[in-house]
Amino acid sequence: MKLLITGGAGFIGSHVVRRMVKAYGQYSIVNLDALTYAGNLANLADVQDEPNYRFVKGDITDKAFIRQLFLDEQFDGVIHLAAESHVDRSISGPDAFIQTNVVGTANLLNAAVESWKGNMEGKRFYHVSTDEVFGSLGETGMFSETTAYDPRSPYSASKAASDHLVRAYHHTYGLPVIISNCSNNYGSHHFPEKLIPLIINNIKNKRPLPVYGKGENIRDWLWVEDHARAIDVIFHRGCSGETYCIGGNNEWKNIDVVKLLCKLMDDKLGRSAGESEQLITYVTDRPGHDARYAIDATKLKNELGWEPTQPFETLLSQTIDWYLANETWLDQVTSGNYRNYYEQQYNR
């Protein structure tokens, strides 16, 4: 198996690469990543010298480069994670999302069709997507594989467009594709522009904890290593042409997640009870902020036997421990451009 993983230097991608490199010694695994602000080879320091692993720096929006890479390498499988992934950045600058998420995905699909033409047997193109393509839920109901698409941010619209292209290439060209739509992830190596690592970093540094609106929006949190395990299972045992929803069965209001992080970190840092909660600051809401996401992952459980690890508090506590133990990583990713981003996003 010659396997291409795109976006492997990012948050989820690095967990997928690590899992695959360790579990499948007989595979030849290429990690293709442009190393944008969100990509960091330090995320993969523990596997970088493994004989079944190779890193290639490259941009999926570069059509000629992608085409040549597929012709040279003759991949058997693709797990595509490379994307612009942060909703707030998609609001201030949608173009990069359209380029990477839509055009970049189309380049990979075209290259796969060309390279596998006449022999699709045993090949697999796995597209990693998000539950945000389904839009926003009210107080009840859950997203499943049959939910109609209704994306509402430039990020989710660009991911929806890429999902549609992937399905269209299956129907039109017979490309053996699989899509999964997953809920919000948390865990180690998460870039601190997203809620959980941002709040951990700010509690650590006694900085204000920005909560959008009233903090009542709900997300279904899944441990990133559970997502990587689901991707492994689906890549190897999922059916071609199918979609699988992946979720944590773990809905939390944002404000409750922030308060739980404060409580856990006050304990760990020897601060008095309630000290970090004082840092909570309600800020202007995100435009078009989706109210609630929740996934019904019954299909994945029934067909492939996957279930999330519980409980959330234990895994969140382990996650905090990782950030506290990896200060150098946190300092490195929050230096330089991060400061400019933070200033523009939060001090408007």
DSSP state of 76: S
* Contact string 272-311 vs ligand NAD (x = CB under 6 A): ----------------------------------------
Q: What are the tokens at 116?
A: 């596998």
Residues in 172-191 at the binding interface with ligand TYD, rule: CB under 6 A: 184
109 contributes a contact to ligand NAD by CB under 6 A: no
Task: Say which residues have a Cβ less than 8 Å from residue 43's Cβ, sequence separation at least 6.
Answer: 9, 10, 11, 14, 189
* Interacting residue with ligand NAD among 90, 105, 130, 243 (CB under 6 A): 130
Cα(319)–Cα(333) distance, rounded to whole angstroms? 17
Point out the catalytic residue in the list 33, 88, 131, 251.
131
Contact call for residue 90 and ligand TYD (CB under 6 A): no
Helix (H) or strand (E) holding 57: strand 53-57
Stretch in the footprint of ligand TYD (CB under 6 A) among 164-172, 204-212, 226-234, 239-247: 204-212
DSSP code, position 212: E
Q: Could you tell which of ligand NAD, ligand TYD, none binds residue 212, using a CB distance below 5 to 8 A set by kind? A: ligand TYD
Q: What's the full length of the chain, in residues?
A: 348
Is-catalytic flag, 149? no
Nearer to ligand NAD (CB atom), residue 84 or residue 226: 84
Which tokens sit at 3?
A: 């396997």
* 301 three-class SS: helix
Q: Which residues are bridge partners to 56 per DSSP?
A: 32
**Separation CA 228–CA 180 (nearest Å):** 11
Which residues belong to the active site?
131-132, 155
Interface residues with ligand NAD (CB under 6 A) are: 7, 9-13, 33-36, 38-39, 59-61, 81-85, 100, 104, 128, 130, 159, 182, 184-185, 191
